[in-house]
Amino acid sequence: MSPYPARTTEAGVVVVQPDGRLNMVAAPSLRRQLHALVDGGNSKVVVDLSKTEFIDSSGLGALISGLKVARQAGGDLRIAAPTRQVVTVLELTNLNRVLRAHDSVDGAFDDQP
């Protein structure tokens, strides 16, 4: 599976936008992409979940793995614009406490210089 669309904002934040189903088939690709971005020096990452219609434990694992490597590199991984299904899964697993959803990609890092 090829990497998901990614772009860099003017503030130097990399935005990755997975689409469709983020399950055991797609999650390894996202995990590799997030690790490659951080390894390449991009420690501030936003995952735009506005086009992700489904997420399972594998998808959550990819996000947590990306969060871990970003924080180890001195940055952070944030999620933005999750769909209702994604929000429900985050709430059911209590991961909404670790991966707080932001309304928009542009506002995800507003609290940092």
Question: What is the Cα–Cα distance from 16 to 88, expressed in whole angstroms?
Answer: 21
Counting Cα atoms < 13 Å in the Cβ hemisphere of 2 gives 2
Domains of the chain: 18-102 (3.30.750.24)
**Do residues 78 and 110 lie in contact, with contact meaning Cβ atoms separated by under 8 Å?**
no
The answer on pLDDT for 113 being more than 90 is: no
> How do residues 74-105 score in pLDDT, each as one tens digit?
999 999 999 999 999 999 999 999 998 999 99
> How do residues 4-41 score in pLDDT, each as one tens digit?
999 999 989 999 999 999 999 999 999 999 999 999 99
Go through 11-38 and write b for each residue having 16 or more CB atoms within 10 A of its CB, e for each that does not: eebbbbbbeeebeeebbebbbebbbebb
Task: Give the confidence band of 107 by pLDDT, cuts at 50, 70, 90.
Answer: confident
Task: Give the confidence band of 2 by pLDDT, cuts at 50, 70, 90.
Answer: low
Tell me the DSSP string of 67-105: HHHHHHTT-EEEEES--HHHHHHHHHTTGGGTS-EES-S
